[in-house]
Amino acid sequence: MSSSTSEPVIGIIGMGDMGRMYARRLKAGGHKTIYVCDKPDRFEELKKELEGTGITPLRDGHAVSRLSDFIVYSVESSAIWPVVKEYGPSTKVGATVAGQTSVKAPEKEAFEAWLPEDVDVVSVHSLHGPSVTTEGQPLIIIHHRGPESKVRMVEDIFRSFKSRYVYLSYEEHDSVTANTQAVTHAAFLSMGTAWHNSNAFPWETARYVSGIEVVKVNITLRIYAAKWHVYAGLALLNPSAKEQVEQYAQSVTALFKLMVEGREADLAERVWKAREGVFGWKRDEDGGEGRAPILLSEDVLDQFSLRGTGAGAEQRERASPNSHLSLLAMVDCWNALGIRPFEHLDVAGTPVFMLWIGVAEYLFRSRALVSAAIAAAISDRVHRPDDTEFVVASRQWSECVSFGNFDLYQRRFERTSSYFAERFEEANKLGSRMIKAIQEAQAANTEAADGR
């Protein structure tokens, strides 16, 4: 502990976007002594950046590890092993170590291999990006080894974040994040690749103008506007994710074959079965009894279109019907794997996660929308070229993940990312407004329910 106070000295190894966010918000929260480091060749640059902030940069992780009582490794999941191997043995006796990584299996292995036995492990994971407020967001706390008092210490350190603490094991963490993210990532990555390969900006066509289409476009661009490694770590290192991405491609392919073969009865049976399996809604009933939908009405969602103006009811009626193959396959995949993502929303229910899952819920709540999607899958030819590109893209992403190659993942991601780059700023603004509107509606629904 600091000699002048009873509070722990904090150390952060890795000053990427999340490391910076942690350092600055912990400092703003009143912590007096915070040591940070990045790669040694960035030391002088980091000194200039942090001058006058009260945050102290050190040359490397050895120095941070020797001086700090609570140390956070804020590095990519793919880099955690070599970084902990290098700096872990220097950890101060009795210190507590955490990792702010999105995939915990490699982190657990690295900590157990390279941290001294007289070091405790209470890991963390903020389930949001660096630009999102920490208030009310889930902060996972993983008590792996050491006394219960160390968990209380970690809680106190992050008190100023005003986050919602969720307590999991390493294994539970990776299961929950895979079940809520792996399939949704695969779906929206494949959408972006399909549109790119079609050489078409979806908001410039008459096929993606309103409601649910607006959400799909905004989510896809939000994903591609982020850094590739944010998604690569989950897909390539999470033990559960590879199986889910592979199953998603299989679901896409199987449903598409039923479409092109015109087997409407078989397609309908499979879709309705998946709906009941994942959401619990029988074929003869609309969904959502007892809980408000995550997304809003189409009229409200139209406000967030990249076209600049909402489509309106008349234009929606003229729009070509869509099979929503990506969403049908998402629910089919969850059903095949026995995944119920809504069971995890209380744990991993950040606004972005809820948006990803909510777009599937939006479609499947309504029997009319599901029936229209099935009918379009059989009879519509306007979207068929896009569906074909989507099938190819989903299989390519599945193959990429199966190889476990980060370079290949990066090339595929950045190729599509560069295609949409000019619209990222606008898409992020619209996406943030959409998320805010959804949050406000949910808060109003909660207040109304509490007042009954």
Q: Tokens 């994710």 — which residue? A: 241
Please tell me the predicted confidence (pLDDT) of residue 127.
87
More confidently predicted of 428 and 80: 80
Please tell me the predicted confidence (pLDDT) of residue 42.
95
Contact predicate 97/119, CB 8 Å: yes
**3 pLDDT band (50/70/90 cuts)?**
very low
**433 pLDDT band (50/70/90 cuts)?**
confident
Distance (Å, rounded) from C-alpha 11 to C-alpha 63?
9
| 252, pLDDT greater than 80 | yes
Q: Which residues pair with 36 in a beta bridge?
A: 12, 57
Mean pLDDT of the chain: 88
**30 pLDDT band (50/70/90 cuts)?**
very high
Distance (Å, rounded) from C-alpha 21 to C-alpha 23?
6
pLDDT tens column, 117-130: 999 999 999 988 88
Contact predicate 120/153, CB 8 Å: no
Contact predicate 367/286, CB 8 Å: yes
**217 pLDDT band (50/70/90 cuts)?**
confident
pLDDT tens column, 434-443: 777 766 766 6
Please tell me the predicted confidence (pLDDT) of residue 298.
58
Please tell me the predicted confidence (pLDDT) of residue 320.
62
pLDDT tens column, 292-317: 666 655 555 656 554 554 444 454 45
| 146, pLDDT greater than 50 | yes
Please tell me the predicted confidence (pLDDT) of residue 452.
52
Please tell me the predicted confidence (pLDDT) of residue 449.
52
What 145-151 contacts at long range (C-beta under 8 Å, 24+ apart), as own/partner pairs, is 145/120, 145/121, 146/96, 146/120, 146/121, 146/122, 147/120, 150/96, 150/120, 150/122, 151/122
Give the residue from 210, 362, 343 showing the smallest Cα distance to 286: 362
Cα dihedral sign for 350, 17, 171, 161? negative
Q: How many CB atoms lie within 10 A of CB 113?
A: 11
Distance (Å, rounded) from C-alpha 34 to C-alpha 157?
12
Query: Any idea which of 84-93, 224-233, 337-346, 361-370 has the lowest mean pLDDT?
Result: 337-346
pLDDT tens column, 44-84: 999 999 999 999 999 999 999 999 999 999 999 999 999 99
Please tell me the predicted confidence (pLDDT) of residue 311.
45
Give the residue from 215, 220, 213 showing the smallest Cα distance to 185: 220
| 408, pLDDT greater than 70 | yes
What average pLDDT does the segment 24-51 reach?
96
**137 pLDDT band (50/70/90 cuts)?**
confident
Contact predicate 366/272, CB 8 Å: no
Q: Record the pTM.
A: 0.84
Distance (Å, rounded) from C-alpha 229 to C-alpha 103?
11
What average pLDDT does the segment 375-393 reach?
92
Please tell me the predicted confidence (pLDDT) of residue 168.
96
Please tell me the predicted confidence (pLDDT) of residue 352.
72
| 187, pLDDT greater than 70 | yes
Token digits of residue 183: 């399939």
Phi/psi zone of residue 76: left (φ > 0), alpha (ψ -120 to 50 degrees), beta?
A: beta
Exposure class string for 80-110: b at 16+ Cβ within 10 A, else e: bbebbeebbebbbeebbbbbbbbbbbbbbeb
Computed on alpha carbons and rounded to an integer, the radius of gyration of the chain in Å comes to 23
Q: Which residues pair with 166 in a beta bridge?
A: 140
Please tell me the predicted confidence (pLDDT) of residue 307.
52
**4 pLDDT band (50/70/90 cuts)?**
very low
